[in-house]
């Protein structure tokens, strides 16, 4: 069974198979696949998929929710080496600096609702 999708109001076919953006950089994506951040999927272009970059804001949120990240934003040795590479390329692809990334992590950690533990509802 084929799902028919058309542009609203026109009935013209909508080509959804080839018209979606990379969630990391916004260029045309090759497809959607699982993320290294966890049980979630994103759209990736060839370059972002090749270098292992992840979308910036989900990366910030994922790091901010880790209990073993100090509130100072310091990377702790408990992160696997491969994850340091994911952070590095994701921050670079987002056009951010490491200082900006950690400032964003600290800002997210300040929101009690996103804390894994110790936060007030």
Binding site for Zn ion (CB under 5 A): 22, 24-25, 45, 48
CB of 19 to Zn ion, least distance (A): 15
**Rounded-to-integer distance, Cα 12 and Cα 5, Å:** 9
Q: Of the two residues 55 and 73, which places its CB atom closer to Zn ion in the complex? A: 55
Q: Of the two residues 25 and 105, which places its CB atom closer to Zn ion in the complex? A: 25
CB of 44 to Zn ion, least distance (A): 6
Phi, psi torsion values for 31, nearest 5 degrees: 175, -175
φ/ψ region of 76 (left if φ > 0, alpha if ψ in -120 to 50, else beta) reads beta
Q: What are the tokens at 102?
A: 């950690």
Q: Of the two residues 48 and 69, which places its CB atom closer to Zn ion in the complex? A: 48
Q: Cα–chain-centroid distance for residue 76? A: 20
CB of 67 to Zn ion, least distance (A): 30
CB of 2 to Zn ion, least distance (A): 29
Q: Of the two residues 24 and 87, which places its CB atom closer to Zn ion in the complex? A: 24
Q: Compute and round to an integer the Cα radius of gyration of the chain.
A: 18
Per the document, the length of the chain is 121
């Amino acid at each position: 069974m084929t799902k028919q999708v058309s542009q609203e109001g026109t009935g013209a076919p909508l080509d959804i198979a080839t018209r979606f953006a990379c969630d990391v950089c916004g260029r045309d994506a090759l497809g959607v696949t699982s993320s290294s951040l966890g049980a979630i999927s994103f759209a990736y272009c060839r370059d972002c998929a090749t270098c292992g970059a992840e979308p910036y804001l989900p990366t910030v949120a994922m790091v901010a929710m880790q209990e073993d990240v100090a509130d100072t934003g310091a990377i702790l040795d408990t992160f696997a080496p491969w994850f340091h590479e994911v952070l590095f390329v994701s921050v670079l692809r987002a056009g951010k600096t490491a200082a900006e990334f950690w400032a964003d992590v600290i800002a997210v950690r300040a929101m009690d609702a996103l804390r894994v533990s110790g936060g007030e509802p």
